[in-house]
Amino acid sequence: PGAPVADPETGAAVKAADRKHVFHSWSAQEVIDPLAVAGAEGSYFWDYDGNRYLDFSSQLVNTNIGHQHPKVVEAIQRQAAKLATFAPAFAIDVRSEAARLIAELTPGDLDKIFFTNGGAEAVENAVRMARLHTGRPKVLSAYRSYHGATAAAINLTGDPRRWASDTASAGVVHFWGPYLYRSQFHAADEAEECRRALEHLEQLIAFEGPQSIAAILLETVVGTAGVLVPPDGYLAGVRELCDRYGIVFILDEVMAGFGRTGRWFAADHWDAVPDLLTFAKGVNSGYVPLGGVAISERIAATFATRPYPGGLTYSGHPLACASAVATINAMREERIVENAAFIGETVLGPGLRAIAERHPSVGEVRGMGVFWALDLVKDKITRQPLVPYNAAGADNTPMAEFTAACKRSGLWPFVNMNRTHVVPPCTITEAEAKEGLELLDQALAVADRHTVAAAG
């Protein structure tokens, strides 16, 4: 990896300029203390003080191909020189090629691609397509989910970030998905959790009225809200409910898609085929903003002669499409999805389970591929979360101390509520993954100090 060069003066200037004019998302402006980043390569990035960090976050779980992949950087440069921008209504070679490649990879007959600039817009448009296709108003989505921060997407989100939304959540009804470790259904095992979650969903459909429900939207593997892997049979069960009641099945693969779980799409693990599939992030590792909706033939046919009322100035932006083509080709040539599966099975899975045994603060390990979470607890028996689940003004000290310990050691973690997610690039090597686990192991000693075991 590239070598960091200490240049604290430039670092201080970059930070001062940021503080003056940049308004940061999801942050109190005077509290946020952003790190000034000087460069990045592969699984690492570095600051201006000579510190290098192993990126166990893939930023916002999107740099699946790692930082500064030369083939993707070069494709963007080449496209910029050839045709930097052009409106969506024209046929452009890289746009058709990106759509063809994505259609080829997505399951079933999801063969038409509507491009957006990111995940939230993909969700907004998928929901609009479902409503227009069915003529029905309501959408069901899960508690413990994240679907984006724009108006409809934030209302569809199931976690407390939705509370900040000032728009009415008209037409959105939330349900409980399966999550055995903190089961809403008091289930004893995965099979019972699955059965009860499907019964709950069918009851909810009955009480809301099947004739009023346009879509069921869910993340194939829940990401930001906890890396929740569905039990076998759950997705097939939801598919069946959708078919029985004429409801559109939308899988949100914005975070889980493009290699994160060790398959191209998380849906592939269970042979699940939705009617609409949303993607973003890993499609081009975020080198240029890009997202989209993969659309089944049946839903595309709704708009064969009737215009689809929706579009964005930058839909299918040539630079974004060129980077997606280069990303997908590089992932194939370098067997990057296979690498994610291999690292998950041989290093991260076994390594994290061993870590859980050693640390009283680790309640549960779950995940697949390069998509894992450690659920940190005060007490392994009661499963009380290490910090209260989003209680306003709650003391976040244990997680803040753990995060600081990771960063001091050169590991950049992804931390949310009482969890740390282990979500490195799909390109991570065995040696890098092992290095990260060692640093994580050491930092968890800080979390252990806040547990009942430490107090007792």
User: According to CB under 6 A, which residues from 8 to 37 bind ligand PLP?
Assistant: none
Site track 261-280 with ligand PLP (rule: CB under 6 A), x = hit: -------------------x
Q: Which of 159, 193, 252, 432 binds ligand PLP (CB under 6 A)?
A: 252
Site for ligand PLP in 327-386 (CB under 6 A): none
Neighbours of 269 (CB within 10 A): 19
* DSSP per-residue letters across 185-211: S--SSHHHHHHHHHHHHHHHHHHH-GG
Contact pick of 47, 159, 219, 268 for ligand PLP (by CB under 6 A): 219
Q: Is 449 exposed, middle or buried (0-12, 13-18, 19+ CB in 10 A)?
A: middle
By beta-carbon proximity to ligand PLP, the closer residue of 146 and 265 is 146
Judged by CB under 6 A, the residue of 146, 372, 402, 412 near ligand PLP is: 146
Whether residue 355 contacts residue 438, with contact meaning beta carbons closer than 8 Å, is answered with no
Tell whether residue 178 is a contact of ligand PLP (CB under 6 A): no
Residue nearer to ligand PLP on the CB measure, 162 or 359: 162
Q: Please give the Cα distance from 76 to 73 (Å, whole number).
A: 5
Among 3-11, 35-43, 143-151, 232-240, the segment contacting ligand PLP (CB under 6 A): 143-151
Which residue in the shown chain puts its C-beta closest to ligand PLP? Answer: 119
Question: Cβ closer to ligand PLP: 62 or 403?
Answer: 62
Burial 133-148 (b: 16+ CB within 10 A, else e): bbebebbbbbbbbbbb
Contact between residue 100 and residue 326 where contact means Cβ atoms under 8 Å apart: no
CA distance 340 to 360: 28
Which residues have C-beta within 8 Å of that of residue 116, sequence separation ≥ 6?
Answer: 122, 125, 280, 290, 291, 292, 293, 312, 315
Question: Of 57, 106, 141, 224, which lies in the binding site for ligand PLP, with binding defined by CB under 6 A?
Answer: 224
Binding piece for ligand PLP, criterion CB under 6 A, among 101-109, 247-255, 317-325, 358-366: 247-255
Report how far apart, in Å, the C-alpha atoms of 428 and of each of 120, 336, 411, 423 are. Answer: 27, 9, 14, 10
Match 């046929």 to its residue by tokens: 91
In the complex, minimum distance from the CB of residue 371 to ligand PLP, in angstroms, rounded to a whole number: 11
Site string for ligand PLP, 288-317 (x = CB under 6 A): ---x--------------------------
Is residue 341 within 8 Å of residue 299, measured between CB atoms? no
Q: Which is nearer to ligand PLP, 148 or 344 (CB)?
A: 148
Report the nearest approach of ligand PLP to the CB of residue 346 (Å): 26
- The alpha-helical segments, DSSP class H, found in 231-365 are 234-245, 297-302, 318-333, 336-343, 349-358
Selected binder of ligand PLP within 198, 205, 247, 254 (CB under 6 A): 254
223 binds ligand PLP (CB under 6 A): yes
In the structure encoding, which two tokens stand for residue 267, read together?
Answer: 């849906």
Q: Which two tokens stand for residue 332?
A: 């194939």
Residues in region 98-127 near ligand PLP by CB under 6 A: 118-120, 123
Single out the segment in contact with ligand PLP by CB under 6 A; choices: 11-19, 219-227, 317-325, 448-456: 219-227
In angstroms, the CA 386 to CA 364 distance is: 12
Taking the least distance from each CB to ligand PLP, the nearer of 293 and 411 is 293
Sequence-ordered list of residues with C-beta below 8 angstroms from that of 327, at least 6 positions apart, any chain: 65, 69, 72, 258, 282, 283, 284, 285, 287
The rounded distance, in Å, linking the Cα atoms of 220 and 239 is: 12
Question: In the complex with ligand PLP, which residue's Cβ is closer, 119 or 231?
Answer: 119
Selected from 148, 363, 398, 413, the binder of ligand PLP by CB under 6 A is 148
Token pair, residue 168, equals: 């009415």
Q: Which of residues 52-81 bind ligand PLP (CB under 6 A)?
A: 60
* Spatial CA neighbour of 55 closest among 40, 68, 70: 40
Q: Does 250 bind ligand PLP (CB under 6 A)?
A: no
Stretch that binds ligand PLP, among 251-259, 313-321, 343-351, 445-453 (CB under 6 A): 251-259
Residue 117 beta carbon to ligand PLP: minimum distance, rounded to whole angstroms: 8
Query: Who contacts 208 (Cβ-Cβ below 8 Å, separation ≥6)?
Result: 138, 140, 173
Shortest distance in whole angstroms from residue 254 CB to ligand PLP = 3
Identity of the residue, 67 or 147, whose beta carbon is nearer to ligand PLP in the bound complex? 147
Residues that bind ligand PLP (CB under 6 A): 60, 118-120, 123, 146-148, 219, 223-224, 252, 254-255, 280, 291
